[in-house]
Chain A
Amino acid sequence: MKLKLFHSTVLLFSLFSAAASAQDDAVAVDRGQKTFMRVGCYECHGTDGKGNEAGTALTPDTLPPEAIANFIRFSPGRMPVYPEEVLSDAEIEDIVAFLESVPPSPDADDIDILKGLTPEGE
């Protein structure tokens, strides 16, 4: 009986922890999305980080926060430099959480008007 009670308690705790963790993740995703918009990442990378000619795709295969921080603190190219005073490491972690939550795009071959395109224009 005691063992059953113990198992139930552990299960409840685990469920609670998972729910709390999921909630934390959702909060981080929401915060990350807001930061992504506020500091203007979306202007070059798109509102969901899918990228375009102005800014590279940030998702899928999002880089870890440290790699992103390293790049944007010392950007050598057209990308504006974001110092820590403008965008903190914690905010970058939130942005990564947001980018990892973005659902993947369809494949070109699954899109009717992209499927038949050829370089010869036929």
Chain B
Amino acid sequence: MTTTLTRLRVPGAFLLGAVLLLGVAPLALSDFRLSLFAKYLCYAIVAVGVSLAWGRGGLMVLGQGVFFGLGGYAMAMHLKLTDAAATGEKLPDFMQLYGTSDALPWWWEPFANPFFALAMTVLLPMVVAGVLGFFIFRRRVKGAYFAILSQALAAALSIWLIGQQATTGGTNGLTDIQGFFGYSLDDPVNQRMVYFIIAAVLLLLMALARQLFVSRYGELLVAVRDSEERVRFLGYDPANVKLVAYVVAAGMAGLAGALFVPAVGIISPALIGIVPSIGFVIGAAVGGRASLVGAVLGAIAVAWAQSTLSDAFPAAWTYLQGLLFVLAVGFLPGGLASLWFVLRRRRTRPTPVIRTEEPVAVTVGETA
């Protein structure tokens, strides 16, 4: 009896999530609320990748904004080109505004092809992550070093985009996107369609990540997180294990960025720099980095709180946000998802401790 229940728990939870996302939310929410919710779900998709790379792999991915941005810009470039073509213009509106050249830059050209653009939203982030990750992990750059490098990457990309005003829209980014593969985004029905696509992708990626978590690879990834040296001594190459997690997380962030563009209608450097990149991680941290559902719910909750409370009480919200990070990360490392275990711990078996770093060679004692 219990075994049947246990076996059905995960598919059951998945089904419940599907009903909530695809059935209840579209019925219960107004058009405006639903499009906001679609935005939060995009952040949740990034959180799925963060949960894989950071929660399970111990890689502090502070540069997810880069991959989110690459995916977003790839999508937005295609949509801007189709928008321009629909009105009979040769160039997207912002290029005419800055009037630097009358020919389309060569690296924009292929994005007119929808298949190329769609493939690029995922492939471009994965290739960048793959190349960077290969060089970083091969030389065993890890821990704080990796975190700082990925953060610097986010800073560099957003600064570079701001500098290329004529071809990337600069600080403004790519804005005012009208159509999505022939469907006008002004139409609320099409906005709902975009929501359904995003929700479906989120569910799909959660299922994929769940399969990765329980696979042999998932076990290996956790082993690398907890004790990289032991894994190496056992004959595995931790660099490859980490690389896969990093690349998959990057692909997910890229997809999220691509879906963010039709949902919100804009992609700009301010959405992908250091601050939003930390934001992606924070949502997962608050919810529970190692728990897939925790990370997703955390990302949605933080994004919701951000847009709801920051309008009403901007100053108070910033204090609350800071305090939330300090308390959640500092004193509840498993995130809110672990609250359940923390509360239950007294009665049942002890919770597995979530470690984010390899065991340090020296342990710190309290003396003062």
Judge: A and B partners, yes or no: no
Interface residues of B (CB under 8 A from A): none
